[in-house]
Amino acid sequence: MQVLLEGVELRLVRLPLAGAFRTARANRTHRDVLVVQALVADGPSGWAECVAENDPTYWPEYTAGAFRALHYHLVPRVLAGRSMHEVRGHHMAKAALEGAALDAGLRSEGRSLGDFLGVERHQVSTGIALGMAQSVENLVTVATGWVQQGHRALKLKVAPGWDVEPVRAVRAAVGDDVAIVVDANGSYDSDDRAHVNALARLSDETIGVLAIEQPFDPEDLLGHARLARHVDVPVCLDESIGSVRDLETALALGACGAVNLKVGRVGGLVEARRIHDLCLKEGIPVRCGGMLETGLGRAVNLAVAALPACTLPPDLGPSARYYARDITPAFVDRDGTMSVPIGPGLGIEPIKEVLDEVTVNQIILRTPR
């Protein structure tokens, strides 16, 4: 696929979240979203979003830094015909640039992203990620509300002191037919016996969680390997996996029983597909993770979640779960499922009037003449 770029537009947009989202590392009330548009001389533009967050609490990258990396280093190299991989790191920025160029190419060919990835499913189950609440009672109320709307999978954020009690309460309230994954965002200490005991209690069959996601620091693969030998559910790695090489190391150590696959975190769809394929070969279940994306990122996640190794519930919900007003037409669910877009490229693009209204910074870089 050849795409001749005449330029790249970078936009920083600010969107309030539909509700505050609290994790072990941060409390988010809005997102500064970096939107990348690949400008093509004789064809349709391509779109992508950079999933970096406002602060570097989940991943070393953050929105303002990604903007600079794209502006001064990645985009100039690509427009000059050089490889963006001359620049080390900056996975999320690279994924956005790769994604925008890929979207432009697929649109020009009339192919969907799902077709490019080779997906065979056109419907995927939703999975509602819930942050930590002000009380257990409040969490139960929110969780049961989503289940009553037809959603059959929940991801619950946990941290030391907020784990067994709230998860057990949600399980009792929603029943055994709802899938539950817990996510610690690396907030536990593998050398702390109380922390390890709490994680072991979370794996108790009476609570019935499908996986414990990223309990320890991303670099603590040995701690994850030790825990994996003492719990009865898969230890799902998220922040620990930034490339297929990271996954190979984790598998060799016995530290990984499942993978949360986030396209931005691993540097783009090409590397994401390599990770997926290795998981499929090794029998490792995958869940498509989310980063509170706009509709641009949600379209990517829907296609990835339809890949065959993605057997654990994803982080995918309707647009209204995240934003009162999205920059794209809203994604909606039906009976706890969502449709993989079938239009060219992402199958969706921003609404110009909304995008212009929420843009707080904008720059266009042109191909050197």
**Checking DSSP bridges between strand 153-157 and strand 179-183, what pairing results, if any?**
parallel
Contact between 240 and 272 under an 8 Å Cβ cutoff? The reply is no
Chain Cα centroid distance, residue 142: 22
State how far the alpha carbon of 81 is from the alpha carbons of 108, 336, 368, in Å.
20, 44, 10
The active-site residue out of 94, 262, 281, 352 is 262
Q: What does the block give as tokens for 32?
A: 């500064």
Give yes or no: 281 in active site: no
The active-site residue out of 94, 157, 281, 352 is 157
**Checking DSSP bridges between strand 46-50 and strand 27-40, what pairing results, if any?**
antiparallel
Q: How many residues are there in the chain?
A: 369
Cα 296 to Cα 294: distance, rounded to the nearest angstrom = 5
What is the distance between the terminal CA atoms of the chain, rounded to a whole angstrom? 23
Read off the DSSP letter of residue 321: G
CA atoms lying within 13 Å on the CB side of residue 56 = 8
Contact between 71 and 36 under an 8 Å Cβ cutoff? The reply is no
Q: Exposed e or buried b for every residue in 34-69, given b needs 16+ CB within 10 A?
A: bbbbbbbeebbbbbbbbbbbbeeebbebbbbbbbeb
- Which one, of 309, 235, 217, lies nearest residue 272 by Cα? 309
* Phi, psi at 256, each rounded to 5°: -135, 115
Give yes or no: 157 in active site: yes
Sign of CA dihedral 155, 160, 165, 168: positive
Cα 272 to Cα 275: distance, rounded to the nearest angstrom = 5
Q: What does the block give as tokens for 167?
A: 């998860």
Amino acid at 127: G
Q: What does the block give as tokens for 322?
A: 């995240």
Cα 42 to Cα 99: distance, rounded to the nearest angstrom = 19
Catalytic residues: 157, 262
